[in-house]
Amino acid sequence: MKCAIYRRVSTDEQAEKGFSLENQLLRLQAFAESQGWEVIADYMDDGYSGKNMNRPQIKRMLHDLKLNKFDIVLVYRLDRFTRSVKDLNDLLEVFKENEVDFKSATESIDTSTATGRMILNMMVSTAQWERETISERVKDVVRKKKDLGLISTGYPPYGYTMNDGVISQVPHEVEIVKFIFEKAKVYGFQKISKLLNEQGLVTRNGTKWLISTASRIAHNPFYSGEMRYKRDGETSTVPINVEGYEPVITKEEHKEVLKAIKKRNRNQTRAKSNEVYPFSGIVLCPECGHPMKGTRVSSRGYYYKYYRCDRASDHFCNGKLIRCEKLDKAFAEYIHDAFQIDRIEIKEETNTKDIQREIKRCKSKIERLKDLYVDGDISKKKYKNDVGELNEKIYDLEQKLLSAENKISHDHIRENLKRLSEFWGLIDDNTKMESIRGVFDTITVEIQGNDVVITDHTLL
């Protein structure tokens, strides 16, 4: 009789329980030999839970089974094969249709009789009930921890570390967090991330600081004593209740920071008159290189629109005001004559699909770890550590994805610039603003006599 061996192991930890893949193979080969069966196939799923059929080798086995490659499937134990009653019955039905027998090397299972099939179903039903009960308890514990302000994953945000349920600050990370909160009162997150990177500072995983990374920290209430989480689609906060926890800033300070961020975002391209300044925050002061913002100047009962250095109000820069009309004219000339579209240097695009696939893989690994923990195949400590590392990796990947999605493709930039060149003098300020902000990061200008000349640019 031709025999196919199927073996499965969840993790290396199971080797300690005698379920290692090598141990299963030796015992199954010996059993098959004692029965006079010829082992012609060996299917091995390494690191997969028996919760469902989402296992590559069991799928290959079923494919070969339908091709009549073997007469019997031999497993070490029933729970190595499946932990689902539905899957078991579906598998046995497939076996029956293709006249293939099923045998466990360590359990007396006879699927040829009604009593045997009933006992088999009872065994799997018990295993499934146990894992579902444990799964419900795990979910309840996680939900309860969140309600009580406890950290459910054991992996706190940047600036903190956790050991044996006690949280503590990481001094050098906390200094960076404080720096972000302090600068967020004055600067945008593009400027903050740039300052951090210029100092050679990196994230917990050694990557460069992104705009979204700094923004996420500044908006996170964890640093002022509250934990944010979602339940039933709604976001709420609860006071943090973890031993050793100390906030980085007070709630009042955090409110001030968020207020400053909101105000800066609201006024990014509009002055008090509610007029639009398309180049606000993008054109750089020819005197000091800082961003210029839109403003109005009154003269003899008339208002005139200008761009003024962002540092002028604090008397850090004595750069001249630039009339909006002159900058607008200079930009039209720049994109029409001097700007060589075919020579644009576009940053290499990040493949967002690859990042999305990697995020999906990480989330799948977390689900598998959850299954393994519920099945009792891994310890609580390993579950927490591995899930924590994967969550941190997902966080970094999501930041890369956000950064990548904010970049404009080569063709899109090319098309935008062609439109700007052709229709600049015909479009309104709102459209100009959206067009510029969809392509340019900064624009550098010079004052030459009474004229404004654009000399350089950087793209998003």
Q: Say how many domains are in the chain.
A: 3
The residue to which tokens 């009580």 are assigned: 148
Does 177 share its domain with 69?
no
Domain that holds residue 127: 2-133
Q: Are 290 and 317 in contact (CB under 8 A)?
A: yes
Q: What is the pLDDT of residue 38?
A: 93
Does 336 share its domain with 451?
yes
* Integer Cα distance of 195 and 210 in angstroms: 11
Q: Is residue 352 part of a domain?
A: no
Q: What is the mean pLDDT of the chain?
A: 77
Q: What are residue 292's phi and psi, to 5 degrees?
A: -105, 150
Q: Is residue 373 part of a domain?
A: no
How many CB atoms sit inside 10 A of residue 115's CB? 8
Q: Residue 373's Cα: distance from chain center in Å?
A: 23
Does 243 share its domain with 271?
no
Can you give the CATH number for the domain in which 166 is found? 3.90.1750.20
130 is written with which tokens?
């146990």
Least confident of 30-39, 314-323, 420-429: 420-429
Higher pLDDT among residues 351 and 102, named by residue: 102
Q: Is residue 443 part of a domain?
A: yes
Task: Give mean pLDDT, residues 365-387.
Answer: 76
Whether pLDDT at 30 is above 80: yes
Q: Is residue 400 part of a domain?
A: no
Q: Residue 198: is it exposed, middle or buried by C-beta count within 10 angstroms (0-12/13-18/19+)?
A: exposed
- The secondary structure of residue 334, as a DSSP letter, is I
Q: Are 253 and 181 in contact (CB under 8 A)?
A: yes
Q: Is residue 325 part of a domain?
A: yes
Task: Say what percent of the chain tops pLDDT 70.
Answer: 73
Q: CA 330, 332, 334: angle at the middle one, nearest 5? A: 65
Q: Considering 215, 246, 266, which residue would you say is the last residue of a domain?
A: 266
Per residue in 133-166, pLDDT tens? 666 665 655 555 554 444 545 567 888 888 877 8
Q: Considering 238, 266, 294, which residue would you say is the last residue of a domain?
A: 266
* Integer Cα distance of 361 and 227 in angstroms: 27
Q: Kindly indicate the confidence band of residue 54, based on its pLDDT and cuts at 50, 70 and 90.
A: confident
Q: Considering 266, 299, 314, which residue would you say is the last residue of a domain?
A: 266
Note if 10 is an active site residue. yes
Does 124 share its domain with 238?
no
Helix spans in 343-406 (H): 352-374, 380-405
Does 287 share its domain with 428?
yes
Does 286 share its domain with 297?
yes
Q: Are 104 and 38 in contact (CB under 8 A)?
A: no
Can you give the CATH number for the domain in which 26 is found? 3.40.50.1390
Most confidently modeled range among 102-106, 308-312, 435-439: 102-106
Does 318 share its domain with 189?
no
231 is written with which tokens?
């339940």
Q: Is residue 139 part of a domain?
A: no
Q: Is residue 279 part of a domain?
A: yes
**Dihedral angle over CA of 376, 381, 386, 388, nearest 10:** 130
Q: Sign of the CA dihedral 38, 40, 46, 51?
A: negative
Does 301 share its domain with 420?
yes
Does 165 share its domain with 282?
no
Does 416 share its domain with 327?
yes
* Integer Cα distance of 37 and 23 in angstroms: 19
Does 196 share its domain with 120?
no
Task: Give mean pLDDT, residues 414-437.
Answer: 71
Does 68 share its domain with 167?
no
How many CB atoms sit inside 10 A of residue 391's CB? 15
